[in-house]
A and B are shown apart, each in its own frame.
Chain A
Amino acid sequence: DTAVSQTPKYLVTQMGNDKSIKCEQNLGHDTMYWYKQDSKKFLKIMFSYNNKELIINETVPNRFSPKSPDKAHLNLHINSLELGDSAVYFCASSRQGPNYEQYFGPGTRLTVT
Chain B
Amino acid sequence: AQSVTQLGSHVSVSEGALVLLRCNYSSSVPPYLFWYVQYPNQGLQLLLKYTTGATLVKGINGFEAEFKKSETSFHLTKPSAHMSDAAEYFCAVSGGRGAQKLVFGQGTRLTINP
- Using CB atoms and an 8 Å cutoff, list the residues of chain A in contact with chain B: 4, 31, 33, 35, 40-45, 48, 50, 55-56, 58, 90, 92, 94, 96-99, 101-107
Most buried by B among A50, A97, A98, A104: A98
Nearest chain A CB to B93's CB is how many angstroms away? 9
Contact in complex: B43, A105 (CB < 8 Å): yes
> CB-nearest residue of chain A relative to B34?
A101
Nearest chain B CB to A92's CB is how many angstroms away? 8
Contact in complex: B100, A107 (CB < 8 Å): no
A99 to B58, CA, bound (A): 16
Q: Is the interface of A mostly helix, strand, loop or mixed?
A: strand
Q: Does B45 contact A (CB under 8 A)?
A: yes
Do A98 and B32 form a contact, CB below 8 Å, given A40-B106, A45-B102?
Answer: yes
Nearest chain B CB to A99's CB is how many angstroms away? 4
Known: A44-B104, A98-B95; 19 extra A-B contacts, CB below 8 A, are A31-B100, A35-B102, A40-B106, A42-B106, A43-B44, A43-B107, A48-B100, A50-B100, A55-B98, A56-B101, A90-B44, A94-B100, A96-B100, A99-B94, A99-B95, A103-B46, A104-B36, A105-B43, A106-B42
- The one of B38, B44, B99 in contact with A98, judged by C-beta atoms closer than 8 angstroms, is B99
Q: Does B8 contact A (CB under 8 A)?
A: no
A103 to B46, CA, bound (A): 8
Nearest chain A CB to B18's CB is how many angstroms away? 24
Contact in complex: A98, B34 (CB < 8 Å): no
Residues of B within 8 A of A58 (CB): 101
Can you list 16 A-B contacts (CB < 8 A)?
Answer: A33-B101, A35-B102, A41-B106, A41-B107, A43-B90, A45-B103, A48-B100, A48-B101, A55-B98, A58-B101, A97-B100, A99-B32, A99-B52, A99-B95, A101-B46, A104-B44
